Amino acid sequence: MAEYYLECITCGRKYKPEKGLYWCSDCGSIMGTLQVIYDYESLKKLEDWKKVFSPKGSIVQFEKLLPVGFSTDIDRFIGGTPLFKFRNKFGIKDMMIKFDGISMSGSYKDRASIIAVNKALEEGYDTIFCASTGNAASSLGLLSAHTALETYIFVPATIPGGKLAQLVAAGAKIISIETTYDQAFDISLEIGLRNNWYCRNSAVNPYLLEGKKTGAYEILVQNKYEVPDYCIVAVGDGTVISSLCKGFSEFYKLGLVEKTPKVIGVQAEGAATVKHVFEKGRPFKPIIEDADTVADSICVGNPRDVIKACSFMEENGGYFESVSDEEILAAIAQLAGETGVFAEPAGAAPLACLKKLLFKGVINPGDDVCLMVTGNGLKDVDALGKMSDIRKYTVEEAYKLFEGVKNEV
Amino acid sequence: MAEYYLECITCGRKYKPEKGLYWCSDCGSIMGTLQVIYDYESLKKLEDWKKVFSPKGSIVQFEKLLPVGFSTDIDRFIGGTPLFKFRNKFGIKDMMIKFDGISMSGSYKDRASIIAVNKALEEGYDTIFCASTGNAASSLGLLSAHTALETYIFVPATIPGGKLAQLVAAGAKIISIETTYDQAFDISLEIGLRNNWYCRNSAVNPYLLEGKKTGAYEILVQNKYEVPDYCIVAVGDGTVISSLCKGFSEFYKLGLVEKTPKVIGVQAEGAATVKHVFEKGRPFKPIIEDADTVADSICVGNPRDVIKACSFMEENGGYFESVSDEEILAAIAQLAGETGVFAEPAGAAPLACLKKLLFKGVINPGDDVCLMVTGNGLKDVDALGKMSDIRKYTVEEAYKLFEGVKNEV
């Protein structure tokens, strides 16, 4: 692991890492989210990084750029997800798709959970908890399963079937609450911290973003340090977008690339709070709105990592866009139908965004674009909504189907 | 690709590969399944194979031992699935789990589908079809999606939600029939061959086993050519078990290992036809039985690859075991709860089998065991059956939960 200190995103106060420290005591849990700061000049000289990193490596290959050591039996199976490349897809000449749906629990959250599990073990905790719309929960449940950690999970009762099934199978202690994700978050934080459990809530635990930033690292390593023009990802609490900005920026600071991709954060029209905060400009102030979208993973009205997201985004030069639920659902089928990548709604939102930005002329067909697909479609099959429309044939009907032309199905 | 010819598993008649040839015309589609034969003495000298293969390589690294060339954009993302290693799990000192649930469509079938897609394109087909209990279907649907192939899928109407969702998203032409898998298979074969579509039914297409054998290759490569004592896998039609036997045997013939693992095929008690045929002994004769099990992937009463499965198994020295549905369902939770590997029912059956064989004293704690987990639990979340039992709390109840002791959940 690397040497580091923590710094408040708002007031800049520096902290030495210590057990139980999650946010700046002066600025509070939302304004005072902490970021992990390394000595990049030293790191730059530490290794010939391009010789260290491999396109097929797991998250473990980035250990010297992370605030935690790896010690579990499954670390080396986290990360290292595919970067698909297609020519002339979706109107883009060089199209990349980073698909984190092919992973232990089927979502991007595995990159954060493995950091949390290792950190909790390192600091001697016996219990770990998180609040989640579903993916962080199922990821933590499965990734902590082989360790001695007891795992408490706070989720809204609306959690999709696939994510709940993963939790049930993993034997996590599930507190399913008839409320929003936003309130489940508050409840978890109060109960978890009072009981001295390790907190795996991305937005308050500064280390989790560090795990997530490896997605950005991998895009650059797997693309042989060629930098795409745009990288598009869905935004809920704001941690993933922050992690992409930070990951790209760190590779720039290490001298591994000469520029960074422009990062675009896509939200659902019904849950676009981070976008609204960003567009109001500095000083960024958290707001709370109602949230309603088919994309459960980003159905967040009180985004906890909004200050970091807006700050990193400003530095990156990227911006936020929103798309409708209809556009998201259409994108699921278009993505799977043209590439074989089956995404959950939030995972398909970047494609919906790309189509919108192509139409607006913001992105051009000649631009290199990378879509970050953060979750597997199997996580939420009900979102597809067309399943009951599939016609069922009798044996006789099936035999007769192809007696004439073949396109009757 | 390698040079090869085809040989009838029953009469030994040799065939030169040609378009549209799937089985021995003397012996018919079940008795006369063909196997792909290579010149192992030449292949042995062709390369220093241990320098060619990498633990992180995809199926593409085995191209010179396969009957097809790779040409699609997603080939190099197929295979290369994790081989987890745990100490002292499930009563076994050195426990390995090969998890093919982390893959493009979430099942072992991707290894076969990628061969079929490449072969269909190579031979100039415009349409491909398969009959499937679900996994082969969703695999083919997603893996053919980015190509120009039109894809017809014949499934029993009982196909689990996750697998159907993948097909719907991929835009495959779905013929969902109110019948068994066994009859859907017959219907598909009649319609598909009549229309001159490429046949991706593992049991009749000899090339698909070749894709599946790479699972065995990977176990040996990823385990640094240390050979486990036992390798356990679920059996439906019989192709996967044949592929493991053949894969291990080929590495032996190439001089890469000095022995082969004993392969154990596990069936559900309600669908154990291959086991029954094997136990009746030579000459192996196909039988048809009723099939009923919670493990949809192996709910097969008329196993099409039974002759090859029994022949290969006899040569391997392994055998078949059966487990109850209750044992399978319990194994899902035990597997996920102790390792984080979330399997569909058929994927958890090998653990149920291991527990039975440990109890019987057939397998001992000191034996090296590899469980082949062939499908992701997200494919069939209803099989878990406990989802509706999860208690939902009101906000007030949730806050009160941990006022006393913490284990009330």
Q: A178–B86: do the CB atoms touch at under 8 Å?
A: no
In a domain, B361, yes or no: yes
Percent of chain B with pLDDT over 90: 90
Task: Return d(Cα A372, Cα A143) in angstroms, integer.
Answer: 22
Q: Domain check: are B177 and B237 in the same one? A: no
Q: For residue B409, give the chain A residue with the closest CA.
A: A173
Reading the block at residue A187, the tokens are 């409840």
Please check whether residue A330 touches B, CB under 8 A: no
CB pairs under 8 A between A and B: 228
Maximum distance among all Cα pairs of chain A, rounded to whole angstroms? 76
On the question of pLDDT at B266 being above 80, the answer is yes
**How high is the pLDDT of residue A384?**
82
Phi, psi of B371 (to 5 degrees): -95, 130
Best residue in A168, A176, A183 for a mutation probing chain B (most B CBs within 10 Å): A168
In this structure, what token pair is assigned to residue A237? 């609490």
Residue A382 pLDDT: 86
Q: Could you give the CA distance from residue A293 to residue A300 in angstroms, rounded to a whole number?
A: 9
Q: Which residues, other chains included, contact B18 with Cβ-Cβ below 8 Å and sequence gap of 6+? A: none
Spell out which residues of chain B touch residue A103, defining contact as CB-CB under 8 Å: 102
* Distance between B39 CA and the closest CA of chain A, angstroms: 32
Q: Per the structure, how many domains does chain B have?
A: 2
Of B102, B169, B184, the CB nearest to A102: B102
Residue range A88-108, pLDDT digits in tens: 999 999 999 999 999 999 999
In a shared domain, residues B216 and B294 = yes
Tokens read off for B138: 């969703």
**Does any domain span residue B248?**
yes
CB distance A48 to A41 below 8 Å = no
Residues B137 and B153 in one domain: yes
Contacts of A202 (CB under 8 A, 6+ apart): A112, A136, A208, A209, A212, A237, A239, A304, A305
Whether B344 and B227 share a structural domain: yes
The pLDDT value given to residue A377:
96
Is the Cβ pair A395, B187 closer than 8 Å?
Answer: yes
pLDDT-based confidence at residue B161 (cuts at 50, 70, 90): confident
DSSP string, A325-379: HHHHHHHHHHHHHHH---B-HHHHHHHHHHHHHHHHTSS-TTS-EEEEE-BBGGG
Does residue A408 have a pLDDT over 60? no
What tokens appear for A385 in the block? 């909504």
E strands of B335-406, at which residues? 369-373, 392-393
For residue B118, the chain A residues in CB contact (below 8 A) are: none
CA distances from B83 to A54, B55, B265, B317 (A): 19, 9, 19, 24
CB of B102 less than 8 A from some CB of A: yes
**A404 in a domain, yes or no?**
no
Q: Residue A230 pLDDT more than 80?
A: yes
Q: Is omega for the bond preceding A206 within 30 degrees of 0, making it cis?
A: no
**In this predicted model, what pLDDT tens digit does every residue of B5-30 receive, in sequence order?**
999 999 999 999 999 999 999 999 88
Give the pLDDT band (50/70/90) at residue A48.
very high
Question: In this structure, how many other beta carbons lie within 10 angstroms of the beta carbon of residue B287?
Answer: 14
> Has residue A341 got a pLDDT over 90?
yes
Decide if pLDDT at B408 tops 70: no
Answer yes or no: do B181 and B232 share one domain: no
Q: How far is A409 from chain B (nearest CA, A)?
A: 6
Q: Is A127 helix (H, G, I), strand (E, B) or coil?
A: strand
Distances (CA, A) of A212 to A78, A158, A335, B265: 11, 25, 23, 40
Are A174 and B390 within 8 A, CB to CB? yes
Give yes or no for B400 touching A (CB within 8 A): no
Domain boundary among B146, B177, B207: B207
Strands B198-199 and A198-199: unpaired
pLDDT of B54 above 90: yes
pLDDT band at residue B405, thresholds of 50, 70 and 90?
A: low
Spatial distance between the Cα atoms of B52 and A10, rounded to a whole number of angstroms: 52
- Residue B158, classified by CB atoms within 10 Å of its CB into exposed (0-12), middle (13-18) or buried (19+), is middle
Give the pLDDT confidence of A160-169 residue by residue, as tens digits.
889 999 999 9
What region does A248 belong to: left with phi over 0, alpha with psi -120 to 50, or beta? alpha
| Contact by Cβ (8 Å): A138, A167 | yes
CB A67 within 8 A of CB A210: yes
pLDDT tier for residue A321 given thresholds of 50, 70 and 90: very high
Whether residues B302 and B274 share a domain: the answer is yes
Whether B116 is covered by a domain: the verdict is yes
Q: How far, in Å, CA of A223 to CA of A94, rounded? A: 12
**Domain harbouring A258, CATH code:** 3.40.50.1100
On whether both B222 and B340 belong to a single domain, the answer is yes
Question: Structure tokens of A367?
Answer: 């631009």
Above 90 in pLDDT, residue A325?
yes
Token pair 């159907």 in the structure block, residue:
B164
What rounded mean pLDDT belongs to chain B? 95
**Which chain A residues touch B340 with a CB distance below 8 Å?**
74, 104-105, 142-146, 170
pLDDT band (50, 70, 90) for residue A174: very high
Over residues A379-395, the pLDDT tens digits come to 988 888 766 778 999 99
Question: A314 is written with which tokens?
Answer: 């400003």
- Whether B331 shows a pLDDT value over 70: the answer reads yes
Contact A398, B175 (CB under 8 A): yes
Residue ending a domain, choose from B180, B207, B234: B207
pLDDT at B406 > cutoff 80: no
- Tell me what the mean pLDDT of segment B277-303 comes to: 95
pLDDT at B404 over 70: no
Which residues lie across from A174 on neighbouring strands?
A153
* Best CA proximity match to A168, nearest among B349, B382, B357, B121: B382
Q: Is the pLDDT of residue B296 over 60?
A: yes
CB spacing of A103 vs B103 below 8 angstroms: no
Determine the residue of chain A that is closest to B142 in CA distance: A340
Q: Count Cβ atoms within 10 A of the Cβ of residue B16 and give its class: 0-12 exposed, 13-18 middle, 19 or more buried.
A: exposed
Q: How distant is the Cα of A167 from the closest Cα of chain B, in angstroms? A: 9
Q: How far apart are CA A309 and CA A335, in angstroms?
A: 27
- Kindly state the percentage of chain A with pLDDT values over 70: 98
Of the candidates A127, A145, A386, which has its C-beta nearest B336's C-beta? A145
pLDDT value at position A74? Answer: 97
Residue among A95, A113, A94, A97 at smallest CA distance from A105: A113
Same domain assignment for residues B321 and B381: yes
Query: Mean pLDDT across chain A, nearest whole number?
Result: 95
Same domain, B168 and B226: no
Indicate whether this complex's ipTM tops 0.90: yes
Q: What is the pLDDT averaged over residues B86-105?
A: 96
Q: Which amino acid is at B364?
A: N
Q: What percentage of chain A reaches a pLDDT higher than 90?
A: 90
Which of the four pLDDT bands, split at 50, 70 and 90, describes residue A30?
confident
Is residue B408 one of the residues assigned to a domain? Answer: no
* Residue B257 to chain A, least CA–CA distance (Å): 25
Which residues of chain A from 339 to 368 reach within 8 Å of chain B, CB to CB? 339-342
Output DSSP code: residue A389: G
What pLDDT was estimated at residue B384? 82
| Bridge partners for B373 per DSSP | B99
Q: By residue range, what is the domain housing residue A371?
A: 80-106+209-387
Are both B289 and B371 inside the same structural domain?
Answer: yes
* Residue A179 located in a structural domain: no
The answer to whether residue A60 neighbours chain B at the CB level (below 8 Å) is no
Q: Supply the pLDDT for residue A121.
A: 98
Query: Which residues lie below 8 Å from residue A27, measured CB to CB, with a gap of 6+?
Result: A8, A10, A11, A13
CA distance A217 to chain B (A): 18
Q: Are A375 and B152 in contact (CB under 8 A)?
A: no
**Residue B192 and residue B291 in one domain:** no
Please report whether residue A305 resides in a domain. yes
Residues B313, B270, single domain; the answer is yes
Sheet with A198-199, edge to edge strand ranges: A198-199, A127-131, A150-156, A173-177, B392-393
Residue A159 included in any domain = no
The residue type of B409 is: V
Q: Which residue of B has its CA nearest to A402?
A: B191
Please report the pLDDT score of residue A133 as a whole number: 86
Task: Give the residue, B223 or A385, on which the prediction is more confident.
Answer: B223
Query: Coil, helix or strand for B107?
Result: strand
Does the structure show a pLDDT above 80 at B64? yes
Q: How far is CA B238 from the centre of its chain?
A: 9
Cβ contact (<8 Å) for A384 and B146? no
Chain A residues 15-44 with CB within 8 Å of chain B: none
